[in-house]
C-alpha cells in the first residue's frame, strides 16, 4: 500500500475569490476540501463515500467519510459563535502544546486543526437526504480524525459490559460501533446497569471498569493532571467542558521542536515522537466552552467551577474508595509539579485548594452548586 501522501496546494486567484485546496490522499480515499472562497464546498470525488455523521454534542455534529483522515464539525442551530470559539481555542491550545516542554505533553494528543470552512449547498447535497438536517449549518470546523480504539479493546468492552441480551458479534461489526472513542471517567465509580441498548460510539468508561479491563488508571490521572496544568498556565484557559478520550495513536505525532532537539539526543527524540498505531492513547478535544482566564480570585472560582461542571474525567478528592484516593493524589501531584515548571504564581495551589474545599462541602451535604453528590454541576 502506498504511504500516506499529504499535499497542500494553494491557489491564488486575482479577482473575486481566493481558494485554498487541501488534498488528502491515501490508498483508500481522497477528500478534497475547498474553503475560503465564495463557492466554498466539499466536493464529491469519484470513488469517495458519502458523508455520514459519527457523533453529536451540544455544539455541533461530526461528519466524515469512510476512509477519510479528516472530520468536519458543523454547528447546531444558533451555535455559530460557539463553533467559532471552538476553532479559536483549538488553534490556541494546539499552538500552546507545541511550545510546551516535551516532558509535560508527550502523552497527550490533539486533533490537527485544518480550517474553519464555509459550507454551501454543494456540501449538503453530498449528504444523504434522510440524515440531512432541516436547518443546514453554514460553517464547518475541519480537523484530523481521531481513529477509533483498537479492535482488541472494543472486543474487551463488549465482552465485559454488553448486556446479556445483546448480540455481541453484531455489536462489533455494526458500522456505528466501529466509531468507538472511549470517554475516561476517572471521577465516577458505579455499577453499569444492564441496558437493552448498547453502543460503543462515545463509550463512557468508569474507573471501576477501567480497573476491570486492567487499564493504567494511574497513568491516565497523571496525564490529565499535566494536561490541565498546561491549559491553565500556558494557554490561560479554564478548560471548561473539554473531553479526554481514548483513541488510536496518531499516524504522525507532533514534530520535535528545535528546543527538543537541543535538550535531547537522537534516541530520546525518536522515542518521544514516534507513533505506534497499535496502541490506544489519550486525546484532548472539544474546546467550544473554553474561556480565557484571569489571574485573580475570580479566576480561581472560574477554574473550580469548570472542574466540577465538566464530565467526571478527573479523579475526585474526598473519595471513599482507596483507589480513588490514590488517583486524586496522582492527579494533584502531577498538576502541581507541571504548574511549577510553567508559572511562579500561587494560583495552581489555590485552585487545588478550592477543588478540595468544594469536595469537603459536598461530602458534608452542601455545595455551591446546590447539590451534594459527586457529579453536581455535571452538564450532560
Burial per residue of 58-77, b for 16 or more beta-carbon CB atoms within 10 angstroms, e otherwise: ebbbbbbbeebbbbbbbbbe
Cα separation, 337 vs 348, whole angstroms: 10
Distance of CA 68 to the CA centre of its chain: 18
Q: Which residues sit opposite 42 in a β-bridge?
A: 33
How much is the pLDDT for 7?
A: 34
Q: What H or E segment, with its residue span, contains residue 75?
A: strand 70-75
* Residue 225 φ/ψ, nearest 5 degrees: -60, -45
**Total-model pTM:** 0.81
**pLDDT tens across the length of the chain (380 residues):** 444 333 333 323 233 333 333 333 332 232 333 333 333 334 444 445 777 888 888 898 898 888 889 999 999 888 999 999 999 999 999 999 999 988 899 899 999 999 998 887 666 777 777 777 777 788 899 999 999 999 999 999 999 998 887 778 878 888 778 889 999 999 999 988 776 678 899 999 999 999 999 999 999 999 999 999 999 999 999 999 999 999 999 876 655 556 666 666 666 655 555 555 679 999 999 999 999 999 899 999 999 999 999 999 999 999 999 999 999 999 999 999 999 999 999 999 999 999 999 999 999 886 665 554 555 555 54
Phi-psi map region of 330: left, alpha, beta (phi>0 left; psi -120 to 50 alpha): alpha
How much is the pLDDT for 370?
A: 52
C-alpha distances in Å from residue 287, one per residue of 100, 141, 173, 290, 292: 18, 12, 31, 5, 12
Phi-psi map region of 318: left, alpha, beta (phi>0 left; psi -120 to 50 alpha): left
Q: What is the domain partition of the chain in residue ranges?
A: 5-93+112-144, 151-212
Nearest to 291 by CA among 227, 231, 376: 231
How much is the pLDDT for 232?
A: 98
In the numeric block, which cell numbers belong to residue 189? 465509580
Amino acid at each position: 500500500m502506498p504511504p500516506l501522501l499529504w499535499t497542500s496546494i494553494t491557489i491564488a486567484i486575482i479577482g473575486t475569490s481566493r481558494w485554498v485546496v487541501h488534498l488528502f490522499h491515501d490508498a483508500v480515499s481522497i477528500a478534497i476540501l475547498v474553503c475560503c472562497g465564495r463557492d466554498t464546498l466539499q466536493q464529491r470525488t469519484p470513488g469517495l463515500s458519502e458523508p455520514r455523521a459519527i457523533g453529536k454534542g451540544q455544539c455541533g455534529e461530526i461528519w466524515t467519510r469512510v476512509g477519510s483522515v479528516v472530520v468536519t464539525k458543523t454547528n447546531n442551530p444558533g451555535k455559530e459563535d460557539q463553533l467559532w470559539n471552538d476553532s479559536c481555542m483549538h488553534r490556541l491550545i494546539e499552538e500552546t502544546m507545541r511550545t510546551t516542554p516535551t516532558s509535560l505533553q508527550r502523552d497527550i494528543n490533539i486533533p490537527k486543526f485544518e480550517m474553519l470552512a464555509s459550507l454551501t449547498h454543494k456540501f449538503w447535497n453530498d449528504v444523504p437526504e434522510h440524515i440531512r438536517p432541516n436547518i443546514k449549518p453554514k460553517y464547518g470546523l475541519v480537523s484530523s480524525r481521531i481513529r477509533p480504539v483498537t479492535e482488541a479493546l472494543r472486543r474487551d468492552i463488549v465482552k465485559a459490559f454488553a448486556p446479556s441480551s445483546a448480540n455481541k458479534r453484531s455489536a462489533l461489526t455494526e458500522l456505528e460501533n466501529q466509531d468507538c472513542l472511549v470517554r475516561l471517567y476517572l471521577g465516577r465509580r458505579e455499577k453499569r446497569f444492564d441496558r437493552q441498548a448498547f453502543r460503543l460510539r462515545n463509550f463512557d468508561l468508569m474507573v471501576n471498569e477501567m480497573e476491570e479491563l486492567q487499564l493504567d488508571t494511574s497513568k491516565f490521572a497523571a496525564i490529565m493532571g499535566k494536561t490541565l496544568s498546561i491549559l491553565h498556565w500556558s494557554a490561560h484557559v479554564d478548560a471548561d467542558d473539554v473531553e479526554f478520550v481514548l483513541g488510536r495513536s496518531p499516524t504522525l505525532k507532533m514534530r520535535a521542536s528545535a528546543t527538543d532537539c537541543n535538550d535531547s539526543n537522537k534516541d530520546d527524540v525518536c522515542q518521544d515522537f514516534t507513533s505506534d498505531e497499535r496502541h490506544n492513547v489519550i486525546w484532548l478535544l472539544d474546546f467550544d466552552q473554553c474561556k480565557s482566564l484571569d489571574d485573580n480570585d475570580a479566576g480561581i472560582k472560574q477554574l473550580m467551577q469548570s472542574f466540577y461542571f465538566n464530565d467526571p474525567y478527573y479523579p475526585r478528592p474526598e473519595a471513599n474508595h482507596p483507589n480513588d484516593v490514590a488517583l486524586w493524589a496522582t492527579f494533584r501531584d502531577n498538576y502541581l509539579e507541571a504548574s511549577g515548571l510553567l508559572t511562579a504564581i500561587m494560583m495552581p495551589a489555590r485552585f487545588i485548594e478550592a477543588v478540595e474545599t468544594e469536595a469537603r462541602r459536598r461530602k458534608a451535604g452542601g455545595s455551591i452548586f446546590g447539590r451534594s453528590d459527586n457529579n453536581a454541576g455535571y452538564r450532560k
